[in-house]
Amino acid sequence: MKLRGVSDRGYKEPSIVPLVNIVFLLLIFFMLLGRITSPEVLDIQPPASASGGQIDTRRDILILISNDGRVALDDNEMEQDLLLSAVTQLLDEEPAMRVRIKADAGLDAVTLIRLMEHLKDAGVKRLLLLTERPEP
């Protein structure tokens, strides 16, 4: 039985081709402009700054320090003492390695300075503080 008005011939499904085009464009946009990063162990929102140089792709030691003072080396959260001895060891093996610190914007600056003092004792002379370019 056929309903009146709904004939096989008259009904046309909307074409999905324009949709596919747009989805392709979005896909290319995200592929080209986004950087794939693995999620970090600590939730950190780095401070915004206008100055500071671009980060190069050199392999550095990355130290994370969160709002509540927890620290992590690369992707492993650990006690500060352990972290410092690990950094000392890494620097012994490869003295040219630089140290990057990614600290939360809301962190007490004195806590960060304390960590930097310990790092100095571990043999770090100059370090990089990661910041983010503010939204325009």
Partner 1 sequence: MESQTYTQILAKASNNSIRHRRPLVSLTPLVDVVFILLVFFMLASSFSDQRAVGLMTPAIAESARTSKTVLLRVKRNGSLDLNGEPITVNQLQARAAQFIQTVGERQFLVQPDKGVALQRVVVVLDALYATGVQDISLVRK
- Which positions lie near partner 1, rule CB under 8 A? 9, 16-17, 19-20, 23-24, 26-27, 30-31, 33-37, 46-55, 100, 103-110, 112-114, 116-117, 119-121, 124-133
The residue (of 34 and 95) whose beta carbon lies closer to partner 1 is 34
- CA diameter of the chain: 88
Rounded-to-integer distance, Cα 75 and Cα 108, Å: 22
* Amino acid (1-letter code) at residue 29: F
Going by the DSSP 8-state scheme, the letter that residue 48 receives in this structure is: B
Q: How big is the CA angle at 3 (ends 14 and 15), to the nearest 5 degrees? A: 5
Min dist CB 100 to partner 1, Å, is: 6
Structure-block tokens of residue 45: 């929102």
Min dist CB 28 to partner 1, Å, is: 9
The residue (of 5 and 136) whose beta carbon lies closer to partner 1 is 136
The residue (of 82 and 113) whose beta carbon lies closer to partner 1 is 113
Q: How big is the CA angle at 117 (ends 115 and 121), to the nearest 5 degrees? A: 115
The residue (of 3 and 36) whose beta carbon lies closer to partner 1 is 36
